[in-house]
Amino acid sequence: MARKSRKSASETAGRTSVSARAVKPTRKKRAKATDTTIELSDFRRTEDGELAGGEPLDIRAEPVDTDAEPILSDESTAALDSDEIDEAGGEISEPRAEPPAEAREPDFSLVPYDSLSRYLAEIRRFSLLSREEESVIAKRYFKHHDPADAYKLVTANLRLVVKIAMEFARASKNLLDLIQEGNVGLMEAVKNFDPYRGIRFPSYAVWWIRAYIYRFLINNSRLVKIGTTQAQRKLFFNLRKETERLEAEGFAPQPKLLAQRMGVKESEVREMQERMAQSEVSLDQPLSADDEGASLGDVLPDLGENPEERAAGDEWREFAKEQVDEFAATLKDKELEIFNARLLAEDPMTLQEIGERFGISRERVRQIETRLKKRLADFIRERAADIDRAQP
Is 150 within a domain? yes
From 255, 276, 297, give the residue that closes a domain: 276
59 and 129, same domain (yes or no): no
Evaluate whether 269 touches 261 at the Cβ level (below 8 Å): no
Question: Which one has a higher pLDDT value, 337 or 204?
Answer: 204
Under 8 Å between Cβ of 247 and 253? yes
Phi (first) and psi of residue 134, to 5 degrees:
-65, -40
Same domain, 74 and 119: no
Distance CA 51, CA 3 (A): 9
Domain assignment of residue 290, yes or no: no
Residue 324 pLDDT level (bands cut at 50, 70, 90): confident
Q: What is the dihedral of CA 291, 295, 296, 301, to 10 degrees?
A: -110
Dump pLDDT digits (tens) for 244-288: 888 898 888 888 888 888 888 888 888 888 777 777 777 777 777
Summary mean pLDDT of the chain: 74
Task: For residues 331 and 327, give the distance between their C-alpha atoms in angstroms, rounded to a whole number.
Answer: 7
Domain count, the chain: 3
Cβ atoms of 208 and 188 closer than 8 Å:
yes
Could you tell me the residue range of the domain that residue 66 belongs to? 2-81
pLDDT of residue 50: 45
Does residue 363 lie within any of the structural domains? Answer: yes
Looking at residue 385, which CATH number applies to its domain? 1.10.10.10
In the chain the first and final C-alpha atoms are separated, in Å, by 136
| Within a domain: 304 | no
Please check whether residues 124 and 272 belong to one and the same domain.
yes
Angle at 144 between CA 139 and CA 148, to 5 degrees: 85
Global pTM value? 0.45
pLDDT tens readout for residues 13-61:
444 444 434 444 444 444 444 444 444 444 444 444 444 444 444 444 4
Residues 119 and 268 in one domain: yes
Give the CATH number of the domain where residue 209 resides: 1.20.120.1810
Q: Give CA separation, 213 vs 59, 136, 146, in Å.
A: 91, 29, 27
Residues 218 and 317 in one domain: no
Q: Is the domain of 262 the same as that of 126?
A: yes
